[in-house]
Structure 1
Amino acid sequence: MIGATATDIAAAVREGRTTAREVITAHLAHIHRVDPRYGAFRRVRAVEALAEADAVDQRPDRADLPLAGVPVAIKDHVDVAGEVRADGSLATSREPATEDHPLVARWRAAGAVVIGLTRVPELCIFPTSDDPEDIARSPWDPRYSAGGSSGGAAAAVSAGMVPLAHGSDGMGSIRIPAACCGLLGLKPGGGVTPHVDGEGWLGLSEHGVLATTVEDIALGLAVMAGQPVAPVRPRDRLRIAVSSRTPVVFAPPDAETVAGLHRVGRALALAGHSTFARHPRVPVSLQTLAGAYWVGAVAAELPANIDESALQPRTRTHVALGRAALRAGLVDEAQRDRWRERALSFFDDIDVLVAPVLARPPAKAEAWSTKPWWTNAQMSTRTAPYPNLWNLASFPALAVPAGVRADGAPASVQLVGPPGSEDLLLGTAAQLAEVLPWKRHPDEVITRTAARP
């Protein structure tokens, strides 16, 4: 049961080979065993999840539910009815939400069971996930951070605590944790998944999915997007550009990053695609724009009921910088539109871009929330200079495992495509899984004799 995919669990519950209660009971026991080491969850909903599982088992339409009995984790950044949305902060309201966010409602309607809320950095700003209570760590090596801001979600999936987790990605916040934890992580393009007012980071952020298989990503995304579940269909003879060129001159990729990228390029060529080196033309000014949006989006959408005096010092600095950027007009939509047009032209004769997610190993698992803003910002830029380009463009991007680095951390790349190419990226990842398969979980957290439903 532990380590089974969401696709397999749902099929077993639909067909009566197991029950949702048995699935949730097993996963709660596993969380109890391993989460003290990895810090994935801010809150485990043990009593509530068992009640939800019983409700799934009693549903007359159980045989038709795409996520029947699947335990899922929700990032502590959206509302879950009856739960406090803390956003990794002591400064947010402690009033429980009165209703589910639309994406949570869709997963529940499909038969999923919300087993817990995952750890995030304060207001989901930073690329590591420590809060006042704990640090989310990579199950591949707990000395490393699980990334951020969907770090708790990634740790939960990587350690087999859930097969499927929700994340959100405003500047790499799904892809960075996926890379840190050896997972698939999809940031859809703009408008694919639902939003509510005040959570879109000025159009940078999208809700997406973390999982260990392409099929699970496709399943979770389809339900979240309100679309029929369809099989993943690879395509023949794609034109695939491979680029390690960093958009930040002081954050070059290390040798292990380049080696992982080349492994993927060779594997895709082996799968029959045309692969070649080509680099997006990224203006130097785009990193200034990215920084302005990073700080400005938070300042523009700060919750009205927040106690700013209780924010962490790094966050107060971030908000102050954001307000200054907004006043100065540095959050420039016209400049962002010009980048979108340039990015679209890059894909005129290219189907998929393959690029790194991280330039180096993940950040160390430390209390980054206690460090100054500049220290956090410098770490963020040096570790993950690649992802924010595609948030600014609102293009879909999928993090995919690419083996293991010599230092023991997972290697990862991102597959990027133009708007509407989510299915194409998933199909490409499915072919990559055939020629360059990845280990779905670290050996130490999933026993080789784990029962399957």
Structure 2
Amino acid sequence: MTQWAGRTAVEMAEAVRQKVVTPREVVADHLAAIAARNGRVGAFRVVRAAAALAEADAVGARADLSRLPLAGVPVAVKDNLPVRGESTRNGSAATPDTPAAEDHVTVARLRAAGAVVVGLTHVPELCVFGTTDGVHGIARNPWDPSRTAGGSSGGGAAAVAAGLVPLALGNDGMGSLRIPAAHCGLVGLKPGTGRVPADLGGGWFGMSENGPLATTAADARLMFSVLAGETPPGDGDPADPPRPLRIAVSTRSPIAGVRVSGAHAALARRAARALASAGHRVSVAHPPYPLTFGAVVLARWTGGTAQDAEGLDPRLLTARTRRHAAVGRAAGRLGMLRADHRGALNRRLAPFFEEYDILLTPALARRGPAADAWHERGWLTNVLVNTACSPMTPPWNLSGYPALAMPFGTLPTGLPGSVQLVGRPGSEHRLLDVVAQLEGTHPWRRTAPVTGQGRT
């Protein structure tokens, strides 16, 4: 382990601001960790070693170094967000290998705050599925490299969980931050609609949001604040203990016919007991998910892919992506994408979230699939595997409510456990307060003990 790789972003930024260490030294330590361990987990498509060191020197020379909230902090960026000077391949052979002229607005905000982009992380093709594998590589869970890191922000989650970077920028259209966060034992926050710039083309009909992957509540809060254009918390500011909240706990799947495993349901019930012990009012209560929810989300999931595939050579797309897009085009022709399903869902949810401040659920329904070439398998197989593993996340993309996955407990397999917290619009900081509270009473191991080069 190097001196700085594996530290928190809050610790690194403070050390750089106090000139205990230079941005170059911090970045160099992380590049050394990437060189030693990325081959084992397959987190990065591109490592910007020379460029990152040059950018670290530029951060170190900034006159406002002492005021930068992310001073010298290495970050990874999901490979569907433009990074100036790098191609954005979006996990596909069909996308152009052309350098981006400008940073995505979220990348620009991170850099303005003093962060250094060390690389671009693997995603599944067009970020469609909940396993990160494709023509550019396979992202593996650092806690068990035989299992997937999840998706579609799987490369970012692998990078953070392996201690290669303290923070990764990803996005979430059906759970694409929360699913890999849950698999890899991280905090993954999907902000509510409008809190962080999205600017993701069609954005899966408004379901996709950009957000952080981190190992602590404080790091997630710091990165979220920068992305949202807020004043970040001060150095070492502790989170305020949340006032007693009304918390509903539900282990019921939103998708008819999909069951939550006993082990994952047990995690949510244990977290509920921990929150009750902390003084919150916890009750078993189930959101009023519509019976047609699965069909509605499938239409938007596939329809968003149909939009993203426009203009790409279909011969260079994998068969599962072509079928996914074809289903989406059919959904569009049938008028399934025109209705105001978000408004209808939120009218159903409003009374529930008037009665409860936060919803607690399992983050996943079962353990993640093997780290394998799922992109070479059939479309239906992929859809069924994804749905069986992660039915709990999509409602909050359709609703636009903020939601996060956080580590809690350990599964019988030895992998990190995870639960999901959902709140009303604008409650991101409240959710993070609860994460900080549970982190204090039920701490987790932040990074996995990954060693060796391995293969991607």
TM-score past 0.5 threshold: yes
Q: Which amino acid aligns with 1:209?
A: P
Aligned-pair distance for 1:343?
A: 1.6
**Are residue 113 (structure 1) and residue 119 (structure 2) matched?**
no
Aligned-pair distance for 1:445?
A: 5.3
Counterpart position of 2:275: 268
Equivalent pairs counted in the alignment come to 445
Counterpart position of 1:347: 353
The 8 Å contact of residues 362 and 409 in structure 1, kept in 2 or not, is answered as no
For residues 17 and 178 of structure 2, the distance between their equivalents in structure 1, rounded to whole angstroms, comes to 31
SS in 1 for 2:206: coil
For residues 273 and 449 of structure 2, the distance between their equivalents in structure 1, rounded to whole angstroms, comes to 27
**Are residue 244 (structure 1) and residue 247 (structure 2) matched?**
no
| Alignment match of 1:415 (pick from 402, 413, 421) | 421
Aligned-pair distance for 1:357?
A: 1.5
The 8 Å contact of residues 143 and 365 in structure 1, kept in 2 or not, is answered as yes
**Are residue 127 (structure 1) and residue 130 (structure 2) matched?**
yes
Aligned-pair distance for 1:251?
A: 1.9
| Alignment match of 1:216 (pick from 219, 223, 226) | 219
**Are residue 13 (structure 1) and residue 21 (structure 2) matched?**
no
Counterpart position of 2:298: 291
1:369-395 superposed Cα distances (whole Å, 9 cap, x missing partner): 101111100001100011001101000
Counterpart position of 2:178: 175
SS in 2 for 1:295: helix
Counterpart position of 1:379: 385
| Alignment match of 2:409 (pick from 403, 419, 431) | 403
* Bigger shift: residues 376-385 or 251-260: 251-260
| Alignment match of 2:329 (pick from 323, 326, 348) | 323
For residues 31 and 135 of structure 1, the distance between their equivalents in structure 2, rounded to whole angstroms, comes to 16
For residues 195 and 408 of structure 1, the distance between their equivalents in structure 2, rounded to whole angstroms, comes to 35
Counterpart position of 1:151: 154
Q: Which amino acid aligns with 2:247?
A: I
Q: 1:199 to 1:18 in 2, by over 3 A?
A: farther
For residues 361 and 197 of structure 1, the distance between their equivalents in structure 2, rounded to whole angstroms, comes to 29
Q: TM-score normalised to the size of structure 2?
A: 0.96
The 8 Å contact of residues 202 and 307 in structure 2, kept in 1 or not, is answered as no
Q: Which amino acid aligns with 1:316?
A: R
Counterpart position of 2:26: 23
For residues 21 and 135 of structure 1, the distance between their equivalents in structure 2, rounded to whole angstroms, comes to 29
* Bigger shift: residues 284-293 or 227-236: 227-236
SS in 1 for 2:404: strand
Q: Which amino acid aligns with 1:240?
A: I
Q: Which amino acid aligns with 1:435?
A: T
Structure 1 portions without partners, runs of 5+: 447-453
The 8 Å contact of residues 37 and 450 in structure 2, kept in 1 or not, is answered as no
The 8 Å contact of residues 141 and 408 in structure 1, kept in 2 or not, is answered as no
Aligned-pair distance for 1:332?
A: 4.1
1:173-219 superposed Cα distances (whole Å, 9 cap, x missing partner): 00000001000000000011113261521100000000000010011
Listed as ranges, the matches of 1:253-264 within 5 Å are 253-264=260-271
For residues 94 and 449 of structure 2, the distance between their equivalents in structure 1, rounded to whole angstroms, comes to 38
Counterpart position of 1:52: 55
Q: Which amino acid aligns with 1:235?
A: P
Q: Which amino acid aligns with 1:401?
A: P
Structure 1 segments of 4+ aligned residues over 6 angstroms from their partners = none
For residues 142 and 299 of structure 1, the distance between their equivalents in structure 2, rounded to whole angstroms, comes to 32
SS in 1 for 2:16: helix
The 8 Å contact of residues 78 and 123 in structure 2, kept in 1 or not, is answered as yes
* Bigger shift: residues 242-251 or 158-167: 242-251
Q: TM-score normalised to the size of structure 1?
A: 0.96
For residues 13 and 276 of structure 1, the distance between their equivalents in structure 2, rounded to whole angstroms, comes to 45
Q: 1:116 to 1:160 in 2, by over 3 A?
A: same
* Bigger shift: residues 278-287 or 156-165: 278-287
Structure 2 portions without partners, runs of 5+: none
Listed as ranges, the matches of 1:95-114 within 5 Å are 95-114=98-117
1:2-40 superposed Cα distances (whole Å, 9 cap, x missing partner): 210000000000000000000011100100111101000
Counterpart position of 1:36: 39
Aligned-pair distance for 1:303?
A: 5.0
Aligned-pair distance for 1:408?
A: 1.7
1:351-406 superposed Cα distances (whole Å, 9 cap, x missing partner): 00001121000111110110111110000110001100110100000101111101
For residues 381 and 269 of structure 1, the distance between their equivalents in structure 2, rounded to whole angstroms, comes to 31
Aligned-pair distance for 1:444?
A: 4.3
SS in 2 for 1:202: helix
SS in 1 for 2:147: coil
Q: 1:445 to 1:431 in 2, by over 3 A?
A: farther
SS in 1 for 2:138: coil
SS in 2 for 1:142: strand
1:106-136 superposed Cα distances (whole Å, 9 cap, x missing partner): 1001100000000000000000001213210
Q: Which amino acid aligns with 1:111?
A: G
For residues 402 and 8 of structure 1, the distance between their equivalents in structure 2, rounded to whole angstroms, comes to 23
SS in 1 for 2:96: coil
The 8 Å contact of residues 247 and 385 in structure 1, kept in 2 or not, is answered as yes
Q: Which amino acid aligns with 2:253?
A: T
For residues 381 and 60 of structure 2, the distance between their equivalents in structure 1, rounded to whole angstroms, comes to 49
Considering only aligned residues, what root-mean-square deviation do their CA atoms show, in Å? 1.3
| Alignment match of 2:396 (pick from 371, 390, 396) | 390
Q: Which amino acid aligns with 1:144?
A: R
Q: 1:366 to 1:416 in 2, by over 3 A?
A: same
For residues 226 and 444 of structure 2, the distance between their equivalents in structure 1, rounded to whole angstroms, comes to 25
SS in 2 for 1:415: strand
For residues 359 and 198 of structure 2, the distance between their equivalents in structure 1, rounded to whole angstroms, comes to 27
The 8 Å contact of residues 256 and 294 in structure 2, kept in 1 or not, is answered as no
The 8 Å contact of residues 251 and 381 in structure 1, kept in 2 or not, is answered as yes
Q: 1:343 to 1:156 in 2, by over 3 A?
A: same
The 8 Å contact of residues 40 and 451 in structure 2, kept in 1 or not, is answered as no
